[in-house]
Amino acid sequence: MSQLSSTSGKLATENIAKLLWSYSLPAIVGTVVMSLYNIVDRIFIGQGVGPLAISGLALTFPFMNVLLAFGMLIGAGSASRISITLGQNDKVKAEKILANAVILTFLISGVAIVLSLVFMKELLLMFGGTQNTVKYAYDYMIIIVPGGIFTALYFGLNNILRSSGYPQKAMYNILLGAIINVILDPLFIFVFDWGIQGAAIATVISYFIGTISVGAHFFSKKSNLRFHWKYFKLEKDIVRSILSIGLSPFSMQMGASLVVVIINTTLLKYGGDLAIGAYGILNSIMMLVVMFIIGLNQGAQPIVGFNYGAKNYPRMFTTLKYAAWTGTVFSTVGFIIGTFFSDISVSLFTTDESLKQMSSHALNVAVMMFPIIGFQIVITNFFQSIGKAKVSIFLSLTRQFIFLIPAIFILPGFYGLSGAWASMPVSDGLASVVTTITFLSFYKKFKSEHTKLSENK
């Protein structure tokens, strides 16, 4: 039996709980380790350079979100399409999607990198930078941005690797890069005394090695999907299909980038440079929790996408149920950590007492709605996995754009800095309500349509 047939058989018949964990556990390890790239940088920079360097690093979040957004646009979109295509037993089209994804990554990421380099200083000031913090952000980003092509390829090809039936290999590849980063960070920052630039160099080297490793897989004759040079030409229908699904996570990340800019400028107004540093710390902790859920989603995506393509709808919804409950458990654990262990958590990033106190309070407020946000993220990913791009984009934007931006403009006017922190749980709660209503409406309509089809057969 071929690797492709074996993978398809598992997605179609294996026990769903077992299958979900076999795909999700490597993906969770991968996404959490991926987030540790930035978290490790922040910990070493906070401990080795100082609190203002943490604030400077927080200014880079919009840049990082933009680079990640372009990786998601291609990586997540192509991974979803490949899963659906494999469910339809069309290997040739899946390999064409793979080749088109690589070309698009080079083209789109290249444009983003050039524009970022040209306007970097102006953008950093726009993102809430001051004379105290821009120098740290610039030193970091002048190295990170050119390496963004490796970030996008690394992220995108790992998504495809997982979706094509190699979840453990994707995990090992990400672990490889993370281990290299953890080794090089303290070496470059403390031993070579390269400061914040040392952290950036370590990260780029790690992404480069990871990209080479995952790329080698698709050249191997043992892979069920391979690079074929004859497919390395853009096809309009394939490009459109990739971008239509990838627009949801892309919009989510771009929205996150804009939100970070607005949050940074608001925090600078009401709390100064240290407030931006506090946001950098709480964002690191919250994103670590969210990455568990994103990893869960990446594990569920090929199962949901395959069974949707194969029209095995009961199996698709059972997978969603398991994923939604598991995501809720993860987000509730994040609530407990942020509420009862905030002091310990923020102490990893800084020894500065003022920054620790501000960060701890901010974290307490920000995670108030975390117990319900796991469900919201899982449902949003479900619509992406079955190709309902418009619904997924809308739900992605509700949490990070439609509700959060008005809240960040309105609440600080009444409650100052505390209002800025409160805008996060307010938007989480409202987005979860909208997501619940949207899903119930879809499910009711879906069941009605397929009941009629069954009766007419």
- Could you read off the pLDDT of 102-158 as tens digits, one per residue? 999 899 888 888 988 898 888 888 878 888 888 888 998 899 899 988 988 888 888
Identify the top-confidence range among 37-46, 179-188, 396-405: 179-188
How many angstroms separate the most distant Cα atoms in the chain? 73
Q: How many CB atoms lie within 10 A of CB 296?
A: 29
Kindly tell me if the per-residue pLDDT of 51 is higher than 60: yes
Please give the average per-residue pLDDT across 429-453, as a whole number. 84
Query: For residue 149, what are the CA distances in angstroms to 29, 155, 294, 322?
Result: 23, 10, 22, 35
Distance separating alpha carbons of residues 368 and 61, to the nearest angstrom: 23
Can you give the pLDDT at residue 1? 45
Can you give the pLDDT at residue 452? 62
Distance separating alpha carbons of residues 331 and 326, to the nearest angstrom: 9
Kindly tell me if the per-residue pLDDT of 29 is higher than 60: yes
Provide φ and ψ at 268, rounded to 5°.
-60, -40
Q: What is the pLDDT of residues 224-249, one digit of tens each?
A: 888 888 888 988 998 998 888 888 77
Can you give the pLDDT at residue 3? 53
Q: How many CB atoms lie within 10 A of CB 311?
A: 10
Q: Does the predicted model carry a pTM greater than 0.85?
A: no
372: three-class secondary structure by DSSP:
helix
Query: For residue 92, what are the CA distances in angstroms to 86, 125, 226?
Result: 9, 48, 10
Can you give the pLDDT at residue 246? 81
- Lowest mean per-residue pLDDT among 55-59, 68-72, 201-205: 68-72
Q: Which residue has the higher pLDDT, 159 or 423?
A: 423
Q: Which residue has the higher pLDDT, 93 or 47?
A: 93
Tokens of 59: 């200014």
